[in-house]
Structure 1
């Protein structure tokens, strides 16, 4: 693919994954989601109208915000009250995202470093635009002659999201109460049979942040990114069935694949960041270098 066509494809990916910021997006019509006066998310207008049916849990939208009722004044009370509402909505079957209920609890807080104010079912977080956090691992090798290759996973065709697409060697969401490195080691073992002794050598390198909207709501996400150099004689193996296969590809081929529809979008962003950090994309030869860097690190104010 010619350089300019490749660059334009990457820009399209970054615009799509940051479309909540784009002029004309429905951000202007969303309500802030507040808990105890702290902003923790964005509620689409159609969701805000549904929440008015539960006045014992949600105060009516006011001053551009939807908030929890004042009597819900603890982590447990908030979590249980909101979960009861979500379970009721799930039974009605009118919200598509709740059909993917996972029984996974995600922490809700203004910033990652803040104490959680409540937990929420993972499948429902987009209804409230609650920030989700995850861990992505770039697994790569360096040959004796210095050539870099990367291990990629192909997601199972039965995955709820992005079935059959290319992915990082291991990745997973951060569940409530579980640490970042702990999640990394767990996902490496479960998805790719990477033993803890190797996974523990992964080192944190950056975060990749973006916010997009689709028919299921608002997705502000932040991925903690790790790099791990895998031994040349090591081969990841399919573990828990979330992956159907692994491929070791030369870095030039990985770069070309980023501009196709064969890659899970946020994982493509994580690999793009790897290419920039390891100087496979350089500012002297890539006219869109600044746009790429900015698009990988967009956060909501």
Structure 2
């Protein structure tokens, strides 16, 4: 694959994963969503039009046109969480939104910034309807080879997964569910998905984050993935665990580079792999014309 063609495909990937910022998106028509005076998300017009049916839950502010606020009377974490849950369950029962067909019975915490105290929690499958920023953990499992080279463990997702079935993924990854810490999630996902023991998982090194916001027919997805690098010891290979991954491959970094622009790679996992290649010097400002554009696309906030 010609280098220029490869780079163009990377730029296309990054554009797709930041499509909410692109011309023609719903960004200009979205309403900010406030809880307890803090902006925690954005609501597309198709969702905002329904909220007048739930006046005990939402208030569309006449003083601040376009704003949507959770009612002030919902003043506790539990009360807010239950109110949103009832709305989402009502929509789910009536099959009003495609995203709710993938109901997880797993909640994400809702807050303006990651460092803030959570204001409530929300069913994972409904977060995109309110443009809630969600967080996850991705682990780059790699090995050092003779001669100084590196190879990366790549997983293939189960074909029965609700999202991106059968696609290539990082060694271990998972969403940050309510009341779960980042390191706790990392250890759990390594154990469940790839059978990496806790003693090894705890040696993973934090390597920053990847952030992006895209939209599709399901809603708006502002996401941040906390990235870790884990050097997998010689003689230890990831194994299929809970069935979310069906197979693992050990790929040299050049094959990872080529593969991340292919049709089989889960898009946000391809971004995490790209970030790894940049941080480990496979790509730099001298050998890649679009290096700066790659960096901007990997770290684009809502």
**TM class by shorter-chain length?**
over 0.9
Answer whether contact 1:210 1:220 (CA < 8 A) is retained.
yes
Match of 2:50? 50
Query: 2:234 pairs with 232, 235, 256, which one?
Result: 232
Select which of 256, 259, 262 maps to 2:261.
Answer: 259
Q: 1-side partners of 2:142 and 2:192: how far apart?
A: 18
Counterpart selection for 1:190 from 180, 189, 192: 192
Aligned length: 300
- 1:125 paired residue number: 127
How far apart are residue 70 of structure 1 and its match?
1.3
Computed over aligned residues only, the root mean square deviation of the Cα atoms, in angstroms, reads: 0.8
**Deviation (angstroms), 1:65:** 1.3
Q: Does 2:108 match 1:106?
A: yes
Distance in 2 (alpha carbons) for counterparts of 1:250 and 1:232: 15
Deviates more, 1:239-248 or 1:142-151: 142-151
- Correspondence for 2:91: 89
Match of 2:75? 73
Task: Tell me the residue number matched to 1:138.
Answer: 140
User: Aligned partners of 1:94, 1:61: CA distance in 2, in Å?
Assistant: 25
Instruction: Please give the alpha-carbon distance, in whole angstroms, between the structure 1 residues aligned to 2:18 and 2:249.
Output: 29
Partner of 2:60: 60
CA distance, structure 2, for counterparts of residue 294 and residue 156 of structure 1:
31
TM superposition shift of 1:61: 5.4
Deviation, 1:232, is: 2.1
TM-score w.r.t. the length of structure 1 is 0.98
Q: Partner residue of 1:30?
A: 30
In structure 1, distance between residues paired with 2:144 and 2:255: 15
Report the Cα distance in structure 1 between the residues aligned to 2:175 and 2:184, rounded to whole angstroms: 11
Q: Is the 8 A contact 2:60 2:66 kept in 1?
A: no
Corresponding residue for residue 250 of structure 1: 252
The answer to whether the 8 Å contact 1:29/1:45 transfers is: yes
What does the per-residue CA deviation read over 1:118-155, in whole Å, with 9 as the maximum and x for residues that have no partner? 00000000000000000000000001321100000000
Cα displacement string for residues 47-92 of structure 1 (whole angstroms, at most 9, x for unaligned residues): 1111221111111354221111111111111011111111111110
Does residue 285 of structure 1 match 2:282? no
Which residue is equivalent to 1:6?
6
State the Cα deviation string for residues 147-172 of structure 1 (Å, max 9, x = none): 10000000000000000000000000
> Could you list the runs of 5+ residues in structure 2 that have no partner in the other structure?
none
State the SS of the aligned residue for 1:59. Answer: strand
- TM-score for both structures, normalised by structure 2: 0.98
Whole-Å separation in 2 of the counterparts to 1:75 and 1:87: 18
Once superposed, which parts of structure 1, at least 4 consecutive aligned residues long, lie more than 4 Å away?
A: none
Residues 107 and 118 in structure 1, CA contact (< 8 A), matched pair in contact too:
yes
Partner Cα distance (2:24, 2:175) in 1: 30
| 2:200 is the counterpart of 1:207 | no
Q: Please, which runs of 5 or more residues in structure 1 have no aligned partner?
A: none
1:174 is matched with which residue? Answer: 176
